[in-house]
Structure formats: C-alpha cells, structure tokens
Structure 1
Amino acid sequence: MLNLVHLSVLAAVARHGSVTEAAKELHYSQPSVSHHLSRLEAATGVKLVQRVSRGIRLTPEGQLLANRAIEILGRVEAASNELAAQAGLQSGRVRLAANASALSTIVPKAAATLAAAHPGLELSLYDRHPVESLEMLRRGELDIALIFRHADAAVQDEGFRLVDVGGDSIYLISQQPDDSLANHRHSAWIGGCERCREELAAVCAEEGFTPRIGSYSDDMVVVQALVAAGAGVATLPGLALRAHRRPDIHATELTGFRRRIYAATYGDPPDPPAVAAVLAALTEAT
C-alpha cells in the first residue's frame, strides 16, 4: 500500500534529481531516503529509480508516480486547509495566483476585505501567468487561479470551474494621442506572454493585419517605457494602467474589445468556505 511519506520522498527526489538534496529538503538522512524509495518500489512492484553516473534518475514509471504524488500531496494540503476553514473561517490558508496587473489591483482590495471579515484566514499569493496558474491549480498547488480570457474566446479548461468576476478594457499604448490600430499596420509591436500575444493577434485581426512583434516583455512598466522610447506600440489591459501609468504615453481604449477575468477552482463543488469567501471578495473587488 502506498503511503504519504513514501510519496513525499519520491516527489522530493523528482524535484532535485538527487537523494542528497531530497534528504536535505525533508530533513532525513540519505539512507532513510533510500529506504523509503526501496519500500515504495516493493509496494508498487516496479522499478522507480535507476542509478546513473552522477546520481539517480526516475524511470518512466517513477516519473509517472512522482507526478501523481505531487498532485496527491497538494490535495492533502488543500484538504487540511479546508478542514481548518470549515471551523467558522477562523483559520486556514487559501493559495491564490494571478498575473501582475490583477495582483496589483484587484487582489490587494480583496485581501483587505478578507482581513477585515476573516482575520484568521491566511491568503498566500503567487505572481503567475494564467497558463502556469492553471497547471499549478491542476496539480493541487493552488486553491484559486485568477485568469483572463478575451471576451470572444471559448472557455475550454476541462476540470476547472470558472467564476466570472468582471471585465477589463483593452487599450492601445502609443506615443500619439487619439491613435488607432489602423495607424500601426506596419509598426513594431511589443508582445507579452503567449496568451497576451494571442489576444493582440485577435485584436489586430479585426483590422485586417497581423502585428509584427519586435520586442517581448510581460512587465507593464517595461512595456510603457519601451513605447515612450519609440521602440514600438502595444496593447495593455485597463488593470495594468491602474497599477502603473507613465505620463508620457497615451492610452486609447479599443472599443469592442474586452477581456473577462475569471477565478478558477478545480475539483467538485461546493467550494470550501475559505475559498468561497475569497471568491466573493474578488468579485466585490472588481
């Protein structure tokens, strides 16, 4: 039978690729780590690790089990938090990830609301892009992922439950006032993360052109600095401009283009009380 101690050892070995480093993380001796791995192999009946010239590596079966172990351990931690939160929201922890613009605007306001209403509730925050957030959520490393979608994009994240917490306008960022997309068919553009570039492409496609991306940055401060320096034009959401706005750039709202902001959770409903409280605070904050 598998047990959580053996799985935690395998997960640590998978993270570090080393018995020595896994032992340091877990505060075990190296022989103890090796013993747990041997017990796990005996329990599963398959070879999970193999010796190589500079340590060990996981077999395909070992990697498969390690991936499941990480997810299981994350779920166990989430369950512990849920049990604590069930006791009247007097304690517990909710792990939330969001990208920089939301983490600079919506989340602090929601955190203040939670602190006033539920002072015993701990909110742990992570700065992550939507794709990474959803993967962490699936692995059980998060309780909530705050993500965005273009208003016309289909939401097809299997297994995730999405709460629509609000909308956000898209702006053209340029050096000229009262600018338009049509003026920048041949301009260099500044692109961000993969999902941001998809959104940019969708916006420009409505004007009949594909943006030529010359620079890449996910940082709203850097993007505005590059635009101000004449390195290109860009699009940014309204939340990013609320978080940081240079006085020497111009922002023109692109009417008809909006992104939706969703709070994603994973697993069967209903949400634990602590998670439900955070979702309510996020909705109020937008």
Structure 2
Amino acid sequence: MDAKRMLIFGAVVRAGSLAAAARELGWTQPAVSQHVRALERELRVPLIVRGARGTVPTEAGLIVLAHANAVAARLRAADAEVAAIADSTAGSVRLATFPTAGATLVPAAMEVMVRRAPGLEVRLTDAEPPQALGLLDSGDVDAALVFRYDDEPANSDRLVRTLTDHPLGEDAIRLVLPAEHRLAGRQRVRLTELADERWVGGCVQCREHLMRVCARAGFAPDVRHSTDDYVIVQSLVAQGLAVALLPELALRSVRNRGIAVQDVDGVGIRRISLTHHPDAAGIPALRALVSALTETRTSPVTDLAVG
C-alpha cells in the first residue's frame, strides 16, 4: 500500500467527506478522490461508502484506517525524535485525561515539568477513558490518562492490547452522603444499608460500576440523576437529594461542606495509568510527563471547600 494514500484515506474518514478532507489538506476534492480510488484499486476492495450522512468506511476500510493511524503515529514519533536530537529540552505532548486527574495529578506533574524543563509542555484535552482511547487511536493525542475499575471486564480491544501502559496507582471509591444523613459519622457502611436511597450516577464507566456493586449487594440502585461533573454530584448530595459513590481524586479536588464521606464495603477501587503507542516513547515531553506523574502521583492536593 502507498503510505501517502493511506494517510489521505485516514484524513477522509476523520473529516467525514472528501470535500472536508480536501479543505483540511489544502487540496482539491478531485485530487483527494483520485488518491482514494487509487488505493482501492491497489487493494481491490471498496474502502468507503458515500451516502447522505457523508463518507463511511467499509469493513476493509476500518482495517486500513487502523494501519493509517498507526503510520501517522509513527511519523509524528519520528518527527519528535529527530527534533529531540537537535533540542531535547523543547517540544510538546498532547494528553487526554479524565476530569478528576485533570484537576489533581496532571497540574502537579505539569508544575514539575515547568521547573525542570520549561521548553517541554503538555497540551491538555479533557476526555473520559473511552473517548481518550479513541483520540489516541485516531492520532489526535499522544497519550491518554485513563482509569479502570478493578471489577471491570477486561478490555480485549485491538488498540488496548498494543499500547504501552504506565501504572500510576489506585484511587479509592468513597460513599458520599448528606452531612445530616442517618449513616453519616459511621466508621464503615454496608452497601445493603443504602438499598432504598436515591443515587447520582457519574460517567458511563462510573454508572456501570455502581450498577455492578449494587447488584452484588442484592439490589438495583434508584439512579435519579446522572452527571459526570463531580461538583454537581456533591451539590445534589449536600442538598439531601441523593447519595453517590465518588473516587478519592474527586474529593481531593473539591470538597463540599455539606457532605459526609464514608468508607463503604464492597465497592473496590479503580486503577489509574498513562497509556500511549509504543512508538511515542521517543517524544521528550512524553518521557518527562511519565517521570513527573510517577513522582507526583501521591502528592497531596489542597481541598477546596465549596457550597
């Protein structure tokens, strides 16, 4: 396969149409179309279907897209490594991170990087783990800071199996109650004692975790509210509208005066890691980020009292 045509094909799929890809590349639409058709002739299979909703990859097109993204990632890594020869103290890394880490772990690591090598920078994008991995797969970021619950089914996705993973420790899950709740102040709470409560659900992974732990405790939670904003979660709880499970990082970032935080049996932990394509390991800013995150992962974060 022609690598240049693969990259053009990847741009077409990401942009959603030949015209949009042409604008992105600064080419004419016929030129882009010609390269895609030539790639299809090389492979002897159609790669895209043009319809009312734009350009959609076929099954063969999805396979080519995965390799095109890998080629793009390797080219960026090569560019970064060559630049590092000239100046290993300059450059950037594009990072996708989930919100609680973006409010705690990442700023602390970035501060370390600024002190050690001001020319290295992190360009941050906020994204929950599934979206962050999608950005990594498409080449829109160089690394993703993600979490996985310890009871979460193993991810057998092709992308995940090929990534380099840097474990960054565990994040405890805590029960958040209204300050005046009947269970507030207890040394430990059993999940079964909350079977009749109203709940706030978090991000998709967090809601699925809540459903699993409650099912093991023998009940289905009454999820009245759904938000991945942990400030809103705490506000709802503080007003006596619901209870919730929140990770320790969320509580280290912001702590509402109107809540009580309890240990609860049977909810487990979530594990945090930084992940990237193996070929990106040569990016100087990524190496510095891994080092800074490893150093600061247990550093305390000042609590902010709100509400």
Fold in common (TM above 0.5) = yes
Structure 1 residue 282 displacement after superposition: 0.6
Structure 1 residue 70 displacement after superposition: 2.9
Task: Please tell me whether the aligned partners of residues 182 and 207 of structure 1 are also in contact (alpha carbons under 8 angstroms).
Answer: yes
Task: Please tell me whether the aligned partners of residues 73 and 279 of structure 2 are also in contact (alpha carbons under 8 angstroms).
Answer: no
The one-letter amino acid of 2:161's match is E
Question: Residues of 2 paired with 1:74 and 1:219: CA distance?
Answer: 32
Task: Please tell me whether the aligned partners of residues 7 and 66 of structure 1 are also in contact (alpha carbons under 8 angstroms).
Answer: yes
The one-letter amino acid of 1:171's match is R
Structure 1: stretches of 5+ with no match in the other structure? none
Question: Residues of 2 paired with 1:192 and 1:198: CA distance?
Answer: 9
Output aligned runs, 1:114-129, within 5 Å: 114-129=113-128
Structure 1 residue 130 displacement after superposition: 1.6
Structure 1 residue 104 displacement after superposition: 0.5
Match in the other structure for 1:8: 7
Match of 1:237 among 247, 263, 266: 247
Structure 1 residue 45 displacement after superposition: 3.7
Q: Which shifted more, 94-103 or 258-267?
A: 258-267
Question: Residues of 2 paired with 1:51 and 1:87: CA distance?
Answer: 45
Structure 1 residue 103 displacement after superposition: 0.3
Question: Residues of 2 paired with 1:149 and 1:9: CA distance?
Answer: 34
Does 2:273 correspond to 1:262?
yes
Structure 1, residues 57-91: CA drift from partner, whole Å, max 9, x if none?
Answer: 54443343234323322332233223334555322
Match in the other structure for 1:280: 291
- Which SS does the other structure have where 2:122 is aligned? strand
Question: Residues of 2 paired with 1:50 and 1:164: CA distance?
Answer: 40
- Which SS does the other structure have where 1:158 is aligned? helix
Residues 1:30 and 1:91: Cα distance change in structure 2 (over 3 Å): same
Structure 1 residue 105 displacement after superposition: 0.6
Question: Residues of 1 paired with 2:70 and 2:6: CA distance?
Answer: 10
Structure 1 residue 139 displacement after superposition: 4.3
Match in the other structure for 1:18: 17
Output aligned runs, 1:1-286, within 5 Å: 1-4=1-4, 6-49=5-48, 52=51, 57-85=56-84, 87=86, 89-151=88-150, 157-175=160-178, 176=181, 177-178=184-185, 180=189, 181-204=191-214, 207-254=217-264, 257-267=268-278, 272-286=283-297
Question: Residues of 2 paired with 1:217 and 1:234: CA distance?
Answer: 11
The one-letter amino acid of 1:130's match is P
Question: Residues of 1 paired with 2:19 and 2:224: CA distance?
Answer: 44
Residues 1:52 and 1:203: Cα distance change in structure 2 (over 3 Å): closer
Q: Which shifted more, 267-276 or 250-259?
A: 267-276
- Which SS does the other structure have where 1:280 is aligned? helix
The one-letter amino acid of 2:45's match is V
- Which SS does the other structure have where 2:100 is aligned? helix
Aligned residues: 285
Structure 1 residue 237 displacement after superposition: 1.1
**TM-score, length-normalised on structure 2?**
0.79
The one-letter amino acid of 1:39's match is A
Task: Please tell me whether the aligned partners of residues 228 and 249 of structure 1 are also in contact (alpha carbons under 8 angstroms).
Answer: yes
Task: Please tell me whether the aligned partners of residues 74 and 280 of structure 2 are also in contact (alpha carbons under 8 angstroms).
Answer: no
Q: Which shifted more, 94-103 or 73-82?
A: 73-82
- Which SS does the other structure have where 1:227 is aligned? helix
Residues 1:79 and 1:148: Cα distance change in structure 2 (over 3 Å): same
Q: Which shifted more, 198-207 or 184-193?
A: 198-207
The alignment yields a C-alpha RMSD, in angstroms, of: 3.0
The one-letter amino acid of 1:236's match is L
Q: Which shifted more, 140-149 or 105-114?
A: 140-149
- Which SS does the other structure have where 1:218 is aligned? coil
The one-letter amino acid of 1:168's match is D
- Which SS does the other structure have where 2:255 is aligned? coil
